[in-house]
Each structure stands twice: as C-alpha cells, then as structure tokens.
Amino acid sequence: MQAPSTGVESTFSRSWELLTKNWVIIVPGLVIGFIVGIIDYLVVPHTDAGGSSVVTGMAAAGGGLVAVIVNVVGEIVALCYVTGMAGAAWRRGKAELSDGSAAFQRDAGNTFIAMIGLFVVFIIAVILAIPTLTISLWLALYFFIYTFAAAIVGERPGFAAMADSFRISTKRVGPTLIIVVIIAVIAVLSGIVGAVLSFIPFLGPIAAAVLSEIVLAYVTLVVVGEYLALRDVPGVPPSTP
C-alpha cells in the first residue's frame, strides 16, 4: 500500500504520479460515455426538418425514461470503475480494469443509494442557492465530497458513506477546504479548455472528451487519496463496519 499522505500538496502530486503510471483509469469513462451517447441518440425522440417530433407522445415518454435509466446506470458503472481503480492505484501503485469490475460487482448498490441521497441533498442546496448566494451548493460539495470514496473504496453502505464524508469534512476542515477549492479551479479551467477544443472540427470533441476523463480520473485520485489519509486520523471518530 502507498505511504499515507503527509499533506494535501503530497496528495495532489502523488495523484498525478499515479495517473501518469495508470492511464487505463480514463478508459472506462470514455467507453461508457461513448456507449451511453449512442443509446441516448437511438432512444431520445428526434424532430423533423419542421421541428415536429417524429414519434408519438407515448414513444417519446418511453424513450426519455429509457435514456434516464441508461444514464443513471452508466454513471454508477463509471463511478465504480474509476473510483475502484483509483483505490487500487493508491493501495499498490497499479490499477487494472479488473479492479473497476470488482468494485462495480461489490459496491454498485452502495453507489446507487449514495447517489439518491446526494440527489436529495443537492436539490435542497439548489432551492437554497438564491437566498444563500450559492453558499448552500458549496456546503453540499464540501460536506459530501468523500461520499463515493467511502462507498466504493471504504465499502460503506450508501447513507453511511455520506455520514462518513460529513464526519471527515467536519473534523478535517483545512485539508478538505483546500481540496474543494483546488478541484473547483481545475474544473473551471478544464471546462474552458474543453469548450475551446470543441470548436475544432472532428478531433476537437474527441480531445475535449479525453481531457474531461483525465480531469475526472485525477480528481478521483485526489479525493480517494485524501479519504484514505483522513478517515483514520487522530481526532476523527473511526468508521463503524
């Protein structure tokens, strides 16, 4: 297992080192995104040249429901694969697709329940966004940033994973706050670069998709690394099985 992180800076640097040695971590997201995109195109209703739907209302509703289910399943698979592989990279320095497959088979249920819980939390945060000047959104991100790491790497049940994230973030304010801020900056910068790349014919969207998966893999490695470093630190009550 990799040596415990001695600080946020070491987590970021070590995460980049692990990613450069394990580019395979970005593969599941690319493949799953491609498959989900094709299915969405096939089932989501299209319009004709005049802007009218080419299918009936019932078929449109059915296609929309299928698209939602496919996207949720795709998100669960991608989260399990990427997070499971990130955990393997931190444990032994090497990640394989089989690590992601094992995480999906073991933790898909935990991930689904955690997604439901986070959906409810972020709906509430969005409702409160205007009166709180978006502070509610930042608090939701801050308190639950370790949720999927706890659910997949820590193998915690869905709502218990959320509780673990809340417990760690309230006890380790400094490291968690630094991670949230830096990840937000990385997301904004990569979004800008990705938007620019998208204007390049043919290869642009492909490059933007690859960049998105690189950022996702790196951010996941950072969060998993800090979760492993902070979950058993002194002063933080240990997780219960």
DSSP characters over 197-218: HHTSTTHHHHHHHHHHHHHHHH
Asked if residue 181 is part of any domain, the answer here is: yes
What are the beta bridge partners of residue 47?
53
Residue 237's CB: how many other CB atoms inside 10 A? 10
Residue 202 is predicted with a pLDDT of 81
Is 120's pLDDT higher than 90? Answer: yes
Distance of alpha carbon 150 from alpha carbon 167, whole angstroms: 11
45, 47, 54, 145 from 51: Cα distances, Å: 11, 5, 9, 41
Encoded amino acid at 122, one letter: F
Asked if residue 133 is part of any domain, the answer here is: no
Asked if residue 110 is part of any domain, the answer here is: no
Distance of alpha carbon 164 from alpha carbon 176, whole angstroms: 13
Asked if residue 30 is part of any domain, the answer here is: yes
Out of 32-41, 84-93, 145-154, 221-230, pick the least confident.
32-41
Asked if residue 94 is part of any domain, the answer here is: yes
Q: Which residues contact 189 (CB under 8 A, 6 or more apart)?
A: none
Instruction: For residue 140, give both structure tokens.
Output: 């939701």
Distance of alpha carbon 204 from alpha carbon 109, whole angstroms: 36
- Banded pLDDT at 234 (limits 50, 70, 90): low
Distance of alpha carbon 91 from alpha carbon 88, whole angstroms: 5
Of 205 and 15, which is predicted with more confidence? 15
Encoded amino acid at 203, one letter: L
Asked if residue 142 is part of any domain, the answer here is: no
Enclosing domain of residue 226: 8-46+55-105+171-230
Q: Which helix (H) or strand (E) holds 73?
A: helix 57-92
Number of separate domains in the chain: 1
Asked if residue 24 is part of any domain, the answer here is: yes
Asked if residue 101 is part of any domain, the answer here is: yes
Predicted TM-score of the model (pTM)? 0.86
